[in-house]
Amino acid sequence: MKILHILKTEPDNNTKILMASLGESQSKETSVFALHDEQADYEKLIDLIFEHDKIISWW
């Protein structure tokens, strides 16, 4: 199962720990997309959403 983490803001340490534990605990492939990046490619985001089984949005 592939997980996509979408970040609206720069993650703090707690968020980073939670993201890592979600992937490690279930041996899942994870990807991260940063919406807060000024160069964010929204077409790439759409492709990533369809490529992954589970999407988690972090606000």
Position 3: which residue type? I
33: which residues sit within 8 A by CB, 6+ positions away?
Answer: 4, 5, 6, 7, 40, 44, 45, 48
30 phi and psi angles, rounded to 5 deg? -125, 150
Looking at every residue in the chain, the average pLDDT score rounds to 91
Give me the pLDDT at residue 26, please.
64
Lowest mean pLDDT among 9-13, 20-24, 26-30: 26-30
Name the strand (E) or helix (H) holding 32.
strand 29-34
pTM score = 0.87
pLDDT tens digits, one per residue of 23-47: 776 667 899 999 999 999 999 999 9
